Amino acid sequence: MWKTIVLQTLSRLVKRGRLEVTLPDGSRHEFGEGTNGPDVALRLTDPARLRHLVQDPELALGEAYMDGTLVIERGDLRQMLTLFAINGGRDALPPLLAAGYAARFRARRFAQANGLNRARANVAHHYDLGDDFYELFLDADWQYSCAYFAREGMTLEEAQAAKKAHIARKLLIQPGMRVLDIGCGWGGMALTLARDFGAQVTGVTLSENQKARAEARAAAAGLSDRIDIRLQDYRTLDERFDRIVSVGMLEHVGAPNYGTYFNKVEDLLDPDGIALIHTIGRCGPPTTTSTWLAKYIFPGGYNPSLSELAGGIETTDLWQADIEVWRGHYAETLRRWQKRFEANLDRVREMYDDRFIRMWRYYLTGAEVSFDAYKHVVFQMQLTRRRDTVPNTRDYLYAQKAAAE
């Protein structure tokens, strides 16, 4: 019975490209018209996964890949994920999958509620995997967010520096300003703003590893007096800052909490302040997080539509001063991370087993695919409390650069 449903579903979904599937009973099946998409052959070796594929295809596919019971016999992981992405429009789902998706969409308010304790556990799940591990695929500055490939031929290090410089321009930072970094990671942004712009930076993170590493880096740079890293939830802050920056943290906030998030940003921001919120988002309608990603990589996480972000901002009195949309940059960043990860595989193996390695590969590759096939993007939202805090044209972001070239 499960076999029949799996085959019916695939035959209904897969139109573009070609998919050949060999089931555990040895039967082979072909789907798709063979054009406008990858050509992929898969073998499933575990009979128990058939039922799981019907009930929760996202989770079942990811777990089968992790377990090694899904073998890609023609094409590669990127092509397989692309094939499912371009054929898996949630509009075209058969009734059973559509009902499951609708239920998960409604359940976002629980799955992404992310209270103080849950938020901390979610962060520990991902960011406390070990600095030794992140070192193996991130750049030397530990930037775990989208780089800005502003010019042809940039290295990952250069593109991460360009990202920080672009954000600093949008913040119009003056020496001595108090800057809050919500989700400060391993301290790269704090170091740049303190060292290059003379800012007084408060960074908050929920990861003990990140806090320790960021503090050690500040000390090594002789900047401990200008950088204050705290293990604290941003919702418990009660101060005023001239500038607020938050890069790659809103992805952990969860769809039910955008009002809370932006209201807190407003409360923490000086009336003459500027906030720059940088987050993954999506050029598409509200949806919900893949069950595989929510279970293994980012519990409580969600990449919002612009309508959802704007809806959150509109519950405040903040002005939306500028919204930049980065399209290709994160896919390129992820390719660089994948390359480093694969190049350091021997060292990863000393820390983790093959299942973990396949999990991480599935995550990095799936994320890359999502920036094309699922229309994921990065939104940089510049927010102010007064109308005229930033100049009335965007020339100031580009003028210096053009003059220097």
Pick the closest to residue 24 from 70, 68, 67 (CA basis).
Answer: 70
Span of 12-20, 204-212, 337-345, 391-399 interacting with its own copies by CB under 8 A: 391-399
User: From CA 226, how far away is CA 369, in angstroms rounded?
Assistant: 39
- CB of 236 vs its own copies, minimal distance in Å: 26
Size of the site for its own copies (CB under 8 A): 44
Q: For residues 316-345, which are near its own copies according to CB under 8 A? A: 317-329
Span of 111-119, 142-150, 172-180, 247-255 interacting with its own copies by CB under 8 A: 142-150
Span of 39-47, 148-156, 173-181, 229-237 interacting with its own copies by CB under 8 A: 148-156
- CB of 30 vs its own copies, minimal distance in Å: 27
- The one-letter amino acid at 161: A
- CB of 272 vs its own copies, minimal distance in Å: 15
Choice from 115, 130, 176, 285 touching its own copies (CB under 8 A): 285
Nearest 5°: phi and psi at 284? -175, 175
Q: Are 182 and 100 in contact (CB under 8 A)?
A: no
Choice from 146, 172, 377, 378 touching its own copies (CB under 8 A): 377
Q: For residues 150-169, which are near its own copies according to CB under 8 A? A: 150
- Looking only at the bridges linking them, the beta strands covering 241-247 and 178-182 are parallel
User: From CA 76, how far away is CA 96, in angstroms rounded?
Assistant: 29
Contacts of 51-54 with CB under 8 Å at 24 or more apart are 51/2, 53/2, 53/6, 54/2, 54/5, 54/6, 54/9, 54/96
Choice from 313, 334, 364, 369 touching its own copies (CB under 8 A): 313
Pick the closest to residue 185 from 266, 123, 97, 132 (CA basis).
Answer: 123
Choice from 41, 129, 221, 310 touching its own copies (CB under 8 A): 310
Choice from 84, 149, 302, 337 touching its own copies (CB under 8 A): 149
Binding track, positions 240-279, relative to its own copies; x by CB under 8 A: ----------------------------------------
Question: Residue length, the chain?
Answer: 405
Choice from 67, 108, 311, 361 touching its own copies (CB under 8 A): 311
Looking up tokens 């809103």, which residue turns up?
Answer: 250
Burial 2-34 (b: 16+ CB within 10 A, else e): ebebbbebbeebbebbbbbbbbeeeeeeebbee
**What does the binding site for its own copies look like in residue numbers (CB under 8 A)?**
148-150, 283-286, 305-308, 310-311, 313-315, 317-329, 372, 375, 377, 387-388, 392-395, 397-399, 401-403
